[in-house]
Structure 1
């Protein structure tokens, strides 16, 4: 573990690495490609253009987190019909991250349009179009704000832009400095070049939060944001710090659902919900997306679905409308968003319980074939059927918890299952005690059962209880989160 002195040195180097870069000839070490990269310097023939930005805009841009800022730069390349976007990081001689580079092979921006693109904040060309110009891919940005959010990454943001004019290619540079983000500095004129079209954005004099981009979680977060897009457009590649993001690496399955429409005044918005099961360990979150599935904001739902690594995508143009009003990140003010999130959470829990129940069927069938399953006849009443659902879920949880359970003799497993059946049937109030103290099921497994059994109708089981006392104490004794119904 690094000591506090090492951490202090790293922080100091991170803040002042650009100073040493100047002393050492303004060169940096690109560890992503194991080469030395000279820092691009603008020529003396540059023109300054004034951009009108309000204090509100500046505050919002500065507060953008690093992953969102990098994502915006990636989206800019994809919206420009890039088939490849690469994110790399550079490190100086002190091994402090000194630059973030996002490069694409898109169409670039014609020189005579660049000033207008920057000045028309909130009035991007994308606002009047839903598809990219050449490839016809769905567009993400509409407000022209992505390039300004790059200022949250570092003090200096430079663009090297190459575009085609007929059969010829031309290149020029642009630059923004956080000291005065209203001052856009652009080459006086483009230069003829043989380079392919595209945009390279290079951010230097980095802010400390950008260190989050080096975390392992950063790759998965980028994967979450772009996996559905990459799944839809298979000819597109995104490389994040040396790793090619492949949708099949992240996506196990996509389960689509339709939620209740949102009625806002005279307008009605359709709402779709996709539960994407993740192949990698992921923090559960739900993205609010436009109708095409582009994430606009995220929420972190708090509910218990053990063993399900998923990301939810709620798709509706209602969220796009909120984003245009800068209301998408404001929690608690929009009841429609709160209602839709509750619907999505309930549906996710129901999906998980149904899938878990389905997963137990093959296990139960195997037990029946081995003649260790304690029920030999079919259920005749709803109460009996519910009782068996409880048994199946509990028994499979016990099997998963006990190592090599299937290797036990059939007689031992039959005996254990019979005891468990007797507890559920005759003395259900002792079930939690048996699971916790005899079988020693851990608390997380008990909580998992609580989630799985939420939909069990207790009135059906209670009908099978022998006494009124059993009926009154069943819920309290079981203590696994079951709910009564009327």
Structure 2
């Protein structure tokens, strides 16, 4: 036996920052084992029925303690050979040799039974012993050659005064070890690293809520990136840990996500032989030798990738977990405004929830630490805004409250633009308005026909709702004499024309009721290099007027007037004249039959590029029904739209609902522009 003395006193050792908690003390011995290249750490203990510990030891299969270096390890208290430890939390853990004295927290004696392989290939075993009363001294027992060709060290603790078996055999102790060593065991899972407690493996996975591994090449280096999200808080700050090829820490850097999202407990470990040459410096100036530091271009690119990667993990965490919890909390505390139980209101609420989730994912601070009244205010405001066509203004408002990155703006913008509910809302309002207009016209034409005239009643409605005669037409003028009408039309085509032209025709003061021209031209079927401009003139008749010879001749005069005006007689223009009245006499019906071969419903005359149509109000309303069957026929959420319309007092008849099928609402604008092929306008 040989007695050794350190260069410090027992008081210096006790005041040097040793652990003050038994769990921390035990962790130091485990780290010492991993620092000695161990892959398996065993914690073994036995106790009696009242919890008194008979035996307690921590062993490892590491390299052992070479007795040739004993004076540099145990002999120099603050200078350990293990200057590059696996330690993650910042406590010394073998870097300065303090861990071996941690036993003094809970027992009076510690003995190291260690086996190492000498330079000549022999396996040598010896013991080291330290007593708490003389902690500055340690003893080594003579070295012997052992037949057990297995490296390793076992630390045996004796004479306990502050440790009982219930402190070791409980969930709290195992959770502590899992939090402390979980990252290290995870990174070494392919090498089957383990901590065994009385032969049972420590289940470190219980503290890991999420994990993600991937590799990326930068230049000639490969970086293995391991992301861990913890179930519990692991410290005040979160770090990127940069590890060399031996998994030893070369550098650490705060992530940029330390305070943004509550409960986003995370660590990121980056392994590469790039960090074998890494030398961190206080200033980010390029190094002059072959090593790397923070100013190296590869390192900067790596940091950018890490920030983007962790940002995506944070949003995934918020969207999938925190946002759902927020919605549940809002439902529990009645934060949401009232929604009915119909399908449409359910979709409105779902839309509001999705926008809140996305906002929360992009910028959680918007919804954090709010009182119930504050939460109700912001949710109510969002609901009002989303119910309008100004929903995309949410983006600008949020951007004024918290600065959004370009990626955040794009992501949130896509959510606000693509939601199906906005299409449903717009469509319901669109259909509601049209059905009400048709109902009003039906009332005027059928129920109040004694009091209705075309100029003061019907025409006022039609000129604001010319879609009844085709979505493709643009209202140029209504109830104007032809001189004004044709000049308005001409100025519509020739926007630079300043002076109205005189029309030398005795019929110029005749007044058609409404004049509509097509916005855009169509391709000429006989010559693809030319386009045809379509025009429409509508003559409305009061409900008491039956369409007959007199009304037909009136429209013929309009037709002849246009034919005789050289400004409007190009063969690349077509003209459609439409007569609408309560009823058609037999003469007009015969004209329908006469034009039947042309395959155009309601046609009564066709001359060159001029056509005259005659129809009843009931025909016009039927056209409306057919067109909107065609529209509703293509709606994905047909039942939702119908239910919402019925809530507003608009009941589609069975004939209309029989035509309903599914198609994407995103095509609404095109659907509205489309019309059945067999209709003339």
What TM-score do the two structures reach when normalised by structure 1?
0.50
Question: Could you say which structure has the greater relative contact order, defined with CA pairs below 8 angstroms and 6 or more residues apart?
Answer: 1
Query: What is the TM-score with the length of structure 2 in the denominator?
Result: 0.37
